[in-house]
Amino acid sequence: MRIGGGGRDQDRKTEIMWICAAKCQDPAVLLLHQVPVEFIESKSGFNLLPRLDRASARDLCVEHGCRLIAWDKFELYFIQRKLEAARTRHRLDKVWAELGKKGIKPDDALVTLYETKCDELRLDEATVGESN
């Protein structure tokens, strides 16, 4: 990542340019571009992660290895989070439909999560129906 002036100094614009996306599969090269979030915040004027407990934050390159993941794996991660958070069958089905729209094939774990969540919501609906 490179942080640099995005225009005239009096405009106080900051541009953040993501570099090294497809070209940097080598973890050593990615590490060269690692920038502390505090540096980005100070240069941009934005508070990027306001709810982050900075004391417990860990270096992701140390924890999980400094590597890029494929876009479809990245999308699967967020779809998984949305499935886990779904509270209605409508929302669950809407999130599941995102896979088709994005042309992403779900892995076995995601299929299992979807089926489990369907069962949970079905039980919840049955319990609510019985109490009425």
DSSP letter string, 16-66: EE---TTT--SHHHHHHT---HHHHHHHH---S-TT--TTT---HHHHH-S
Number of domains in the chain: 2
pTM of the model: 0.56
Distance CA 51, CA 47 (A): 10
Are residues 122 and 76 part of one domain? yes
Q: Are residues 58 and 75 in the same domain?
A: no
pLDDT in tens, the chain (132 residues): 333 334 443 333 333 333 344 455 666 777 777 788 888 889 999 888 788 888 887 877 777 777 777 888 889 999 999 999 999 999 999 999 999 999 999 999 999 999 999 999 988 877 766 666
- Whether residues 121 and 75 share a domain: the answer is yes
User: Domain boundary residue among 12, 44, 64?
Assistant: 64
Q: Which domain holds residue 90?
A: 71-131
Looking at the fold, whether 58 and 77 belong to one and the same domain comes out as no
Same domain, 78 and 53: no
SS3 124: helix
Half-sphere exposure of 58 (CA within 13 A, CB side): 7
In this structure, are 105 and 77 located in the same domain? Answer: yes
pLDDT at 61: 77
Q: What is residue 13's predicted lDDT score, i.e. its pLDDT?
A: 31
Give kind and range of the element (H or E) at residue 5: strand 2-5
pLDDT for res 106 = 93
